[in-house]
Amino acid sequence: MTTSAPTAARARRIALLLAAASAAMLGGAFWFQYGEGLEPCPLCMAQRWAHAASLGIGLIAALVATRASAPWLLALLGLAFLAGAGIAGYHVGVEQHWFASAFCGSGDAVAATVEDLKALLWETEVSRCDEIAWSLLGISMAGWNMIVSVFLALVAFVAARRVAARSKP
């Protein structure tokens, strides 16, 4: 047996674990939304898209990673986690009022008349990006997401580097 088979298999396992971590993060977000009634703001939704991308990349890597592709797929996965960490970090900045967000508005609803607009405004629950809905140990959900996403990115990058080093002939 060559060293490439265990290396690709190891990379696929790591990718699967990272995909599972993203699935768990998404599951937590859905739990807070549907189980606890905390409506997500637009920045919360963007963070979910980053985890969905990480989940997809991780699953692809878990299924098709080869000796040659594994380091690149793991690095791509790390970049997806870093993107999510960046969005979460931006959200933390908005929560702390360090800067304003152009992404947080009233939504995509369109009213044809003034009466329709009034009805939309009264019926629409607007979840603000600059209000912290939940925190643990003084860290908001966005803050925890940033911490976890940075950690997962580091795991992906270290794994990519190690797999690349073991794959060299």
Pair 73, 156: CB distance under 8 Å: no
Q: How many structural domains does the chain have?
A: 1
pLDDT at position 3 over 50: no
Residue 42 lies in a domain: yes
Q: Is the pLDDT of residue 9 over 50?
A: yes
pTM, two decimals, is: 0.75
Residue 129 lies in a domain: yes
Predicted confidence (pLDDT) per residue in 33-68, tens digit: 888 887 888 888 888 899 999 999 999 988 887 787
Residue 162, domain member (yes or no): yes
**How large is the angle between the packed helices 4-30 and 141-167, nearest 10 degrees?**
170
For the segment 17-33, the average pLDDT, to the nearest whole number, is: 91
The predicted structure's pLDDT at residue 130:
64
* CATH number for the domain harbouring residue 139: 1.20.1550.10
Q: Does residue 119 lie in a domain region?
A: yes
The average pLDDT across 74-98 equals 88
pLDDT at residue 106 is higher than 50: no
pLDDT average, residue stretch 125-147: 74
Looking at residue 111, its pLDDT comes to 53
| pLDDT tens figures, 66-84 | 787 788 889 999 999 999 9
User: Domain for residue 105, yes or no?
Assistant: no
Quote the domain boundaries for residue 139: 4-100+110-167
